[in-house]
């Protein structure tokens, strides 16, 4: 067998191993074998990200499916996708050990992994859409895994918004390719740039993939889905799945081929707004994973900003795309560690060497998100600022990004406050497997800071005094502000009202769907709790949240008429529900 054949086999294995294991888990006789192998299903994709592959062209499949291209975007995405899915799978083995629905989880986990890897490998429009939609709809099973009322509500919002994204993307794809559905992705940016409808196409692409990214005003599913999913599911949802939306922007927008200053300015403004808005709403949340979800919305604002700069300055697009990749690697692993940590700390407890180790790791990961000196976050923000300089962005932009980093520090402090005190002092004896997987991911995360897959040219600048000061002062300012807030809460009795997760979703539901009657089934639902300090009656905002939430639940039947989009994949999901959900 030649080297080319082996390289092609590696590409096929990266896609087919999770697909085959999905089928194995669905067969009762083979289910035990499938669940034993499932945690390792991402290993071929990781190996492909570390090594090399060869392009695969399956002519009989989907008008000629083309997979893998040896470009920096594909290799980088395969690397961090493989890493996070692998260690999330190993973590899930212990996390779900006593879960009666673990077979259902593994089925959806494997199918979503296959869709994620397939979207990264795809090199034509039809294949990309197939795997992107497969990933989107199969991830629904991760969101609703707990089968609680909150999970069902989050699942409904998730699937409705996913269908909205599919509608926008289908329109964009048809305008782009016409009858050439198997158009190579390498040609798409040029075709879009030369199209007479390029502005319309770009708006559709930005909106369609923006749902997955959690872009401003399209973010509402994130803070609902993340808290209800199991910790390994939340890790991949925030760490890799939302990054596929960014990948869609990189693959389909005419970055480097056309100058679209108006759209670019809108994206920059939306990205900056999201960076601050995510922090502002996240600081009011009481659930740790909801805080992390709003942190992801804020962090994705930085990537939205970078894409906007690339739209407005095509000559700087290669540098900006490189910065996006550096940021994607950093955020994927750091946020994955934080989400997995929310499931690990209750198992290890916060006392003893295991608890101390987890607390140190969580603090380190939080500092990475904040962009503290000598962390992957500092490297990512350094790459982003260098790319902005190449794009000749506004001189105010670095200052605004530093202020946003202050917000990142504040929201990470809020996360630690909502996580650590709630953990038991002593953990359970069965946490060893989860702890090992988490620590190994922490080691890999640190190793990638020392040997980054992209952005190596920025590494020497991390030690420069200017870079150290630029990274340090927002973190110091955020810590000082956190301390002031804590002290003021001790001096005065005051409360911070919780903005309901989903924030603008509820006012939108109330305004756009006034004809739907209110349900009385949830009339006795407790209002959103206030901060522990201070007592008082439920606020008007809390009562409004209850009413608007009920209205939204009533609206879902009317909105579900969008479900004809991606019918084949919904049927595929239906098979999963029948075979796996108990």
CA nearest to 293, candidates 232, 221, 206: 221
Listed range (101-115, 490-504, 546-560) with the worst mean pLDDT: 546-560
The answer to whether the beta carbons of residues 144 and 107 sit under 8 Å apart is no
Give me the sign of the Cα torsion angle 146, 150, 153, 158.
negative
Model confidence pLDDT, tens digit, residues 13-44: 999 999 999 999 999 999 999 999 999 999 99
The answer to whether the beta carbons of residues 39 and 94 sit under 8 Å apart is no
What pTM was computed for the model?
0.87
Q: For the chain, first and last CA: distance in Å?
A: 45
State residue 375's pLDDT score: 96
* Residue 122 bridge partners (DSSP): 67
Domain limits for position 437: 255-458
CA nearest to 505, candidates 545, 478, 466: 545
Taking 80 as the threshold, does the pLDDT of residue 572 lie above it? no
In degrees, rounded to 5, the angle at the alpha carbon of residue 152 between the alpha carbons of residues 151 and 157 is 95
Q: Tell me the average pLDDT across 486-495.
A: 62
Taking 60 as the threshold, does the pLDDT of residue 553 lie above it? no
Residue 500 DSSP SS3: coil
Q: Cβ atoms within 10 A of the Cβ of 447, count?
A: 10
Q: What is the DSSP letter of 521?
A: T
- Domain assignment of residue 240, yes or no: no
310: which 2 tokens? 């690339």
The answer to whether the beta carbons of residues 372 and 379 sit under 8 Å apart is no
Give me the sign of the Cα torsion angle 400, 403, 408, 414.
negative
- Domain assignment of residue 382, yes or no: yes
State residue 51's pLDDT score: 84
Model confidence pLDDT, tens digit, residues 178-235: 767 678 999 999 999 999 899 999 999 999 999 999 999 999 999 999 999 999 999 9
Taking 70 as the threshold, does the pLDDT of residue 575 lie above it? no
User: Residue ranges of the alpha helices (H) in 144-237?
Assistant: 149-177, 188-194, 198-213, 222-228, 231-236
Taking 70 as the threshold, does the pLDDT of residue 516 lie above it? no
State residue 518's pLDDT score: 42
Q: Tell me the average pLDDT across 267-295.
A: 95
> Number of structural domains, the chain?
1
Label residue 452 exposed, middle or buried (CB < 10 Å: 0-12, 13-18, 19+). Answer: buried
Taking 70 as the threshold, does the pLDDT of residue 574 lie above it? no
The answer to whether the beta carbons of residues 163 and 563 sit under 8 Å apart is yes
Taking 90 as the threshold, does the pLDDT of residue 3 lie above it? no
Q: Cβ atoms within 10 A of the Cβ of 521, count?
A: 10
Taking 80 as the threshold, does the pLDDT of residue 464 lie above it? yes
State residue 143's pLDDT score: 96
State residue 61's pLDDT score: 63
Burial code of 135-153, b = ≥16 C-beta within 10 A, e = fewer? bbbbbbbbbbbbeeeebeb
- Domain assignment of residue 463, yes or no: no
Residue 552 DSSP SS3: helix
Q: Provide, rounded to the nearest whole percent, the portion of the chain with pLDDT above 90.
A: 67
State residue 546's pLDDT score: 52
Q: Tell me the average pLDDT across 325-354.
A: 94
Task: Considering only the C-alpha atoms of the chain, give the largest distance between any 2 of them, rounded to a whole number of Å.
Answer: 74
- Domain assignment of residue 368, yes or no: yes
| Cβ-Cβ contacts under 8 Å for 421 (sequence gap 6 or more) | none
344: which 2 tokens? 């690990």
What's the CA gap between 376 and 445, in Å, rounded? Answer: 8
State residue 528's pLDDT score: 43
Q: Tell me the average pLDDT across 152-170.
A: 94
- Domain assignment of residue 41, yes or no: no
Listed range (19-33, 71-85, 530-544) with the worst mean pLDDT: 530-544
Taking 80 as the threshold, does the pLDDT of residue 362 lie above it? yes
């Amino acid at each position: 067998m030649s080297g080319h054949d082996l390289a092609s086999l590696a590409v096929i294995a990266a896609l087919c191993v999770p697909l085959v294991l999905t089928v194995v888990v669905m067969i009762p006789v083979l289910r035990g074998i499938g669940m034993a192998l499932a945690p390792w299903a991402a290993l071929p994709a990781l190996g492909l990200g570390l090594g090399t592959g060869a392009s695969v062209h399956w002519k009989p499949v989907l008008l000629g499916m083309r997979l893998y291209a040896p470009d920096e975007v594909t290799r980088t995405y395969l690397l961090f996708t493989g890493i996070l899915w692998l260690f999330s799978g190993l973590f899930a083995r212990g996390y779900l050990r006593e879960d009666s629905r673990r077979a259902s989880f593994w089925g959806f986990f494997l199918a979503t992994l296959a869709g994620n890897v397939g979207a990264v490998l795809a090199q034509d429009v039809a294949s990309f859409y197939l795997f992107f939609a497969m990933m989107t709809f199969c991830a629904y099973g991760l969101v609703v895994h707990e089968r609680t009322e909150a999970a069902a509500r989050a699942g409904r919002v998730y699937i409705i918004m996913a269908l909205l994204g599919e509608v926008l993307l289908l329109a964009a794809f048809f305008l782009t390719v016409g009858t050439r559905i198997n158009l190579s992705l390498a040609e798409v940016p040029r075709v879009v740039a030369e199209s007479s409808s390029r502005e319309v196409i770009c708006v559709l692409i930005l909106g369609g993939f923006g749902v997955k990214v959690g872009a401003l005003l399209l973010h509402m599913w994130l803070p609902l889905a993340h808290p209800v999913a199991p910790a390994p599911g939340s890790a991949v949802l925030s760490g890799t799945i939302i990054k596929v939306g960014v990948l869609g922007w990189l693959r389909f927008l005419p970055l480097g081929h056309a100058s679209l200053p108006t759209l670019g300015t809108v994206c920059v403004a939306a990205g900056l707004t999201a960076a601050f808005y995510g922090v502002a709403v996240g600081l009011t949340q009481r659930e740790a994973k909801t805080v992390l979800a709003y942190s992801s919305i804020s962090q994705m604002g930085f990537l939205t900003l970078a894409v906007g700069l690339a739209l407005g300055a095509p000559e700087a697009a290669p540098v900006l795309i490189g910065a996006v990749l550096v940021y994607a690697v950093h955020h994927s692993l750091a946020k994955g560690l934080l989400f997995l940590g929310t499931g690990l700390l209750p198992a290890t407890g916060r006392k003893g060497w295991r608890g101390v180790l987890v607390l140190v790791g969580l603090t380190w990961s939080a500092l990475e998100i904040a962009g503290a000196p000598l962390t992957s976050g500092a490297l990512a923000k350094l790459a982003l600022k260098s790319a902005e300089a190449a794009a000749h962005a506004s001189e105010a932009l670095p200052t605004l990004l530093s202020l946003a980093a202050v917000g990142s520090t504040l929201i990470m402090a809020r996360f630690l406050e909502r996580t650590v005190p709630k953990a038991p002092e002593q953990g359970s004896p069965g946490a060893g497997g989860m702890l090992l997987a988490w620590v190994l991911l922490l080691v890999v995360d640190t190793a990638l800071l020392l040997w980054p897959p992209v952005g190596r040219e920025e590494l020497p600048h991390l030690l420069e005094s200017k870079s150290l000061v630029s990274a340090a002062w927002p973190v110091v300012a955020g810590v000082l502000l956190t301390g002031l807030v804590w002290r003021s809460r001790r001096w005065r009795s005051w409360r911070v009202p919780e903005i309901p997760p989903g924030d603008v979703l509820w006012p939108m539901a109330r305004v756009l769907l006034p004809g739907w009657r209110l349900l009385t089934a949830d009339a006795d639902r407790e209002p959103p709790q206030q901060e522990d300090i201070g007592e008082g009656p439920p606020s008007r905002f809390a009562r409004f949240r209850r009413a608007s939430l009920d209205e939204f639940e009533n609206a879902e039947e009317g909105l579900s008429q969008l479900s004809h989009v991606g019918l084949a994949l919904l049927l595929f999901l239906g098979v999963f529900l029948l075979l796996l959900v108990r």
